[in-house]
Structure 1
Amino acid sequence: MENRIVVKCKNVGKTFIQGKEENEVLKGVNLAIKEEEFVVLFGLAETGKTTLLNLIAGLEPVTEGTIEVNDEIVDGPKPNRGMVYQTTSLFPWLTVLGNVEFGPAVQGIKKTERRKKAQYYIDLVGLSGFEKTYPIKLSGGMKQRVGIARAYCNEPKVILMDEPFGHLDAQTRYLMEEEIERICAKEKRTVIFVTNNIEEAVYLADRILVLSDKPSHIVKEYQIDLPRPRNITAKEFLRLRKEITDFVERSAGEVDG
């Protein structure tokens, strides 16, 4: 039985207005994302990837078109969508446990139940033993693990990740890519992941959606059928990476020309 569609964008557009200036960032975006699919939004800088993610999250209203999550029109944030940011945005006055259980606490879930749930996700992301640690004592990779655990602890249907490893050093980034694949295999969710790193995109994605220059829309789609865990030096991996890179560079060149 084929997985159902959980995220739909229909002719979505977004224009920001600053004084008399209009900045049309997205125009005519159409997409459909299936349950438990890992979709990467890929493109060069300033192509509206984060804007589209924020629209799906309900953090910004659409200018035109509609977005649906689980057959409901998105008109603001809801617990069925979890967000992981590039900068972790942890509460510095809360411990790891306090940060992870924050969402369930706001929802009024009883302390015993939410602590059990938070502990499960802390263990899942490999932070057992750091429950009482404050964010200032954590490395960048550890902070992102807390952010991922916090997003999962709300048990959303859709996880939205905005370049979550963009600020990490190369070695930690590779480690976190391996970790997110492991976590997604264990706790299956629909994931929409923004990146401008082609290797990261091919390593993680079931499907890559390439966005054009502004006003952005989806210009190309790649189904990534490589076996997991993926080998970044494998012939087919390198071929796909080059094919997508060449397409994006050609597209940018056509716009510049």
Structure 2
Amino acid sequence: MENTRKLENDCVVRCDHIGKIFGEFETSHEVVKDINLNIKENEFVVIFGPGQCGKTTLLNLMAGLEQTTSGEVNVNGKPVTAPGPERGMVYQTTALFPWLTVMGNVEFGLKMAGVKKSKRRERAQYYIDLVGLKGFEKSYPVKLSGGMCQRVGIARAYCNDPSVILMDEPFGHLDAQTRYLMEEEIERICSTEKRTVVFVTNNIEEAIYLADRIILLTNCPATVKKEYVVDLPRPRSYVSPEFLELRELITSEMDEMDL
């Protein structure tokens, strides 16, 4: 089941020997160390590892929210130096504007880009419908459940038409039942709207259920310990023998880490 895959040179996301150190001198703390990673178009890659190992920092380097100490991140062949519209971000917390409605939140990026109201509303409505929130366009975040708020965040990320979607443990704060439902939903959305997705989680079942490829990181400082190609047919079953076999394999690798 474990496999390696040769990636083409025309990958969408490329991390070349990237590292990140916070602080200076005696107070410095190395969080990411010499990571090389290539991600292809329309590939769903899960960054998986123990809590506080550097997964979010790695994602923030791809997003341009943090700058590398060493190495370089490239997206679509261009160095990442700051956030950009070609990269959509879905956060751990919903990060919605509480004073805006569902429609206002989803269309916000297009509004800031100067897109005409009729055009941006049409596009926002498409993604609101896609994530299952038709009828809630005029609702404010305070009136929505946690799962519904994450749907708004996903719709907002897709609405700007990025080539890469970055997701930082978007379902980590949801209850178990809602989390399973959202995993099914993100698989449905990704099958409809093809994008390159980089998804951070510390939940092994979530990683196997969603990923085309899992990148297992070591404990901090984060380095790539192993990669797994997940070639299980979709939709996947959490209790299939193949699913459980891969879960056991990855767990055995994690058991060897200094957690």
TM range, smaller chain = over 0.9
The reply on whether 1:123 has 2:129 as its aligned counterpart is yes
1:252 CA drift (Å): 2.6
1:244 CA drift (Å): 0.4
What's the secondary structure of 1:5's corresponding residue? coil
Question: What's the counterpart of residue 47 of structure 1?
Answer: 53
Q: Which runs of 5+ in 1 are unaligned?
A: none
Question: What's the counterpart of residue 217 of structure 1?
Answer: 223
1:51-62 matches, within 5 Å, as 51-62=57-68
1:29 to 30, 35, 52: 35
- 2:50 corresponds to which letter in structure 1? L
1:20 CA drift (Å): 4.5
The reply on whether 1:92 has 2:120 as its aligned counterpart is no
Separation in 2 of the partners of 1:93 and 1:156? 25
1:115 CA drift (Å): 0.2
Question: What's the counterpart of residue 67 of structure 1?
Answer: 73
- Report if aligned partners of 1:3, 1:35 keep a CA contact under 8 Å in 2: no
- 1:80 corresponds to which letter in structure 2? E
Separation in 1 of the partners of 2:221 and 2:96? 32
Shift of the 4–19 alpha-carbon distance from structure 1 to 2, 3 Å rule, reads closer
1:249 CA drift (Å): 1.4
Shift of the 3–115 alpha-carbon distance from structure 1 to 2, 3 Å rule, reads farther
1:6 to 5, 12, 19: 12
Separation in 1 of the partners of 2:149 and 2:24? 34
- Normalising by the residue count of structure 1, what TM-score does the alignment of the two structures yield? 0.96
CA RMSD of aligned residues (A): 1.2
The reply on whether 1:159 has 2:165 as its aligned counterpart is yes
- Deviation sequence 1:137-193 (CA, Å, 0-9, x none): 000000000000000000000000000000000000000000000000000000000
Q: Which runs of 5+ in 2 are unaligned?
A: 1-7
Separation in 1 of the partners of 2:196 and 2:19? 23
- 1:106 corresponds to which letter in structure 2? M
What's the secondary structure of 2:31's corresponding residue? strand
Shift of the 3–35 alpha-carbon distance from structure 1 to 2, 3 Å rule, reads farther
Does 32-41 or 18-27 show the bigger shift? 18-27
1:172 to 172, 178, 192: 178
Question: What's the counterpart of residue 200 of structure 1?
Answer: 206
- Report if aligned partners of 1:26, 1:215 keep a CA contact under 8 Å in 2: yes
1:72 CA drift (Å): 0.1
The reply on whether 1:186 has 2:192 as its aligned counterpart is yes
Question: What's the counterpart of residue 143 of structure 1?
Answer: 149
What's the secondary structure of 2:219's corresponding residue? coil
Question: What's the counterpart of residue 132 of structure 1?
Answer: 138
- Normalising by the residue count of structure 2, what TM-score does the alignment of the two structures yield? 0.95
Number of equivalenced pairs: 252
